Every structure is written in structure tokens, then in C-alpha cells.
Amino acid sequence: MTISPFFTDLRSAYQAELDDLSQDSEGKDVLKKRLADKRSEIDFLVKMMELSPEMVAVVFHQAFAFSNAAVMDDLLSFEADELPDWTGLANDIQIAPWAQGLVDKVLSEPGGEWFLTVAATLEYMAGKPVAHAAQVDDEDDEEEFDGDAEERADAKARKEAADDWMVGQGFDRKE
């Protein structure tokens, strides 16, 4: 199984987002409460789907069941602009009843199908042990590493833009 640079970068950002939501300053487990709070803000969060998908995808934590691991493993190798539409995955991903309203809201937005594919793939990855990043052949190492660096730079720029946007909305900058 290979994981594209797109999903390699998003996986760590998604996990960091879940970790941030998991405990309060006293170390108490507050994940359920914070996820419920985030889910109630879906109308606001959908505006960030493209810039910071990992920040929005957490609202779907534990919302999906995967009936075809091979399909999901294959999705891990796709770059952002190669992902299939959500409707093509409907037979392989089941949605928890409590999440259906969130899915409907996201699907009503431009880019919603793309985002749901990303969110489901991130959630699938969250349930798997850490896998190695995209495997490369020896002769392609130099070219691939340049591509990885470019992907990391793009991910960093997306995160910075999202952070700037959040500050503009009145939130404190995350460090």
C-alpha cells in the first residue's frame, strides 16, 4: 500500500486536530464534548473544507464504516485532484445515522463530494496503524523527493492560510 504525499500530510494534521480536541488543560478526556461542539458549528466549518480539510473532517470522527478495505487502501494513493466523487464510494462506505445531517450539509456545498471522500479516507487512516509514506523506486528517488517537498510546502501554505483566516474570524493563532 502506498500513501500519497497529500494523505501523508493530512494524516498528521488530522491526528493533531483530534489530539487537540481530546483533552482539556487538566488532562481530562473531553473529545466527545468538543466533537459535539464542532458538529454544531458545521454551517461555519464548511467554509474551511478546501483550505483546511483536516480541521473540518474531525466532525466525521467515527461516522463511517468501511466494507471494502481494498477500495480505501487504493484511495490512499490518490492526490487531491485525483479523488473520485463521493457517490462512487457509496457502496463501500456506510454513514452512521447520527452523521447523516452533517453529510447532507456538506454535500449541499461546492466541493462537498470531494471533501467527504477526503474525510472518509482520513477517518479510515485514523483507524489503521501508521503506515510508511509513499514508496518510491530507487531510480525515482530524487524526482519523488522533490515532489514530496513541494507537497509539504503546499500543505504548509494551506495551513498558514487557514490559520490566517481563523485569526481574521477572531480566533487566537494556534502554535
Q: In total, how many domains does the chain have?
A: 1
Q: Is the pLDDT score of 23 beyond 90?
A: no
Q: Is the pLDDT score of 143 beyond 60?
A: no
Whether residue 112 lies inside any domain: the answer is: yes
Whether residue 175 lies inside any domain: the answer is: no
Q: Is the pLDDT score of 34 beyond 90?
A: yes
* pLDDT interval class at 140 (50, 70, 90): very low
Range(s) of the domain holding residue 123: 5-168
Whether residue 173 lies inside any domain: the answer is: no
Whether residue 92 lies inside any domain: the answer is: yes
> Which of 20, 45, 10 lies closest to 123 in space, CA to CA?
10
Whether residue 162 lies inside any domain: the answer is: yes
Q: Is the pLDDT score of 24 beyond 50?
A: yes
Whether residue 140 lies inside any domain: the answer is: yes
Only one residue has cell 474525510, namely 119
* pLDDT interval class at 6 (50, 70, 90): very high
More confident residue, 75 or 158: 75
Whether residue 30 lies inside any domain: the answer is: yes
Residue 74, amino acid: D
Phi-psi region of 28 (alpha: psi -120 to 50; beta: other; left: phi over 0): beta
How many residues would you count in the chain?
175
Whether residue 18 lies inside any domain: the answer is: yes
pTM value is 0.72
- Which pLDDT does position 145 carry in this prediction? 43
Q: What are phi and psi of 138, to 5 degrees?
A: -55, -40
Lowest mean pLDDT among 2-6, 64-68, 155-159: 155-159
The whole-number average pLDDT for the span 140-158 is 53
Helix (H, G, I), strand (E, B) or coil at 77: coil
